């Protein structure tokens, strides 16, 4: 499968009208993913195996005490997030089970980001409250998908890429300004709470 075929396949799977394709930044991001996963495709990695790259990188962040290394590992765990889907499309190995597995592993990876913040000294109560908003929103999205067949529902101000970037930026900032992690975690909590309200309002409107 070449890049053009991959982009057409991705667009079709994600509900684009026949003849239309993803454009803009998303198209550029997907094109980069297409080239980055070629070694994995060549080595015949399965999509489910590729999914494990995220938590492995995030777990490695727990073993480091260097803020720069932690930030880079968290960013890397975020970058590889789309690799499993790309491999699945290119190798034509997409499955419902893979989609469920991907969702579970995404939550594990995010929990490992929380773990990195905990080991850095962030208040457990603050982290627990943040995680409750994340987990509730994502569980609600999964249930909404089950009930209404909606793929995403709404793009809130604090989706997974934003969460990963916030944590990584917090660790980078901590190397320069003390207490950057505390500030970033509070910002994450506020944004996540607002995102939960966004999602709840949309779900209520859809399920009426």
Is the confidence at residue 56, as pLDDT, over 80?
yes
Angle formed at CA 165 by CA 159 and CA 171, multiple of 5 degrees: 140
- Taking each helix axis from N to C terminus, what angle separates 24-36 and 3-13, rounded to the nearest 10 degrees? 120
Contact 148, 207 (CB under 8 A): yes
pTM, 2 dp: 0.85
Cα dihedral 24, 110, 203, 95 sign: positive
Contact 99, 44 (CB under 8 A): no
Between CA 71 and CA 184 the distance in angstroms is 13
**Residue 15: per-residue pLDDT:** 62
All domains of the chain in start order, with CATH? 45-82+95-206 (1.20.120.1760)
Is the confidence at residue 90, as pLDDT, over 80?
yes
**Residue 153: per-residue pLDDT:** 54
> Which DSSP symbol is given to 48?
H
Higher local confidence (pLDDT), 195 or 161: 195
CB neighbour list of residue 6: distance below 8 Å, 6 or more residues apart: 30, 34, 86, 89, 90
Compute the average pLDDT of residues 76-89. Answer: 86
Between CA 100 and CA 51 the distance in angstroms is 11
Tell me the pLDDT tens digit for each residue of 8-23.
Answer: 887 777 667 677 787 7
Rounded to a whole number of angstroms, the CA Rg of the chain reads 18
**Residue 178: per-residue pLDDT:** 86
Higher local confidence (pLDDT), 141 or 73: 73
Q: What is the mean pLDDT of the chain?
A: 87
Rounded to a whole number of angstroms, the distance between the first and last alpha carbons of the chain is 43
């Amino acid at each position: 499968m070449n890049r053009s075929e991959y982009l057409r396949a991705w667009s079709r799977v994600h509900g684009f009208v026949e003849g239309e394709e993803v454009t803009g930044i998303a198209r550029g991001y997907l094109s980069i993913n297409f080239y980055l996963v070629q070694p994995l495709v060549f080595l015949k990695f399965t999509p489910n195996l590729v999914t494990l790259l995220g938590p492995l990188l995030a777990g490695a962040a727990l073993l480091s005490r260097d803020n720069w290394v932690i930030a880079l590992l968290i960013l890397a765990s975020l970058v590889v997030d789309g690799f499993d889907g790309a491999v699945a499309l290119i190798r034509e190995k997409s499955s419902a089970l893979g989609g469920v597995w991907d969702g579970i592993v995404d939550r594990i990876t995010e929990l490992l980001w929380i773990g990195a913040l905990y080991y850095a000294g962030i208040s457990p109560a603050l982290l627990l409250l943040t995680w409750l908003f994340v987990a509730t929103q994502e569980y609600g999205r999964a249930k909404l998908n089950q009930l209404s067949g909606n793929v995403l529902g709404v793009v809130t101000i604090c989706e997974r890429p934003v969460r990963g970037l916030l944590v990584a930026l917090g660790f980078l900032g901590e190397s320069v300004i003390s207490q950057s992690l505390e500030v970033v975690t509070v910002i994450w909590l506020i944004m996540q709470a607002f995102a939960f309200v966004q999602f709840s309002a949309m779900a209520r409107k859809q399920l009426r």
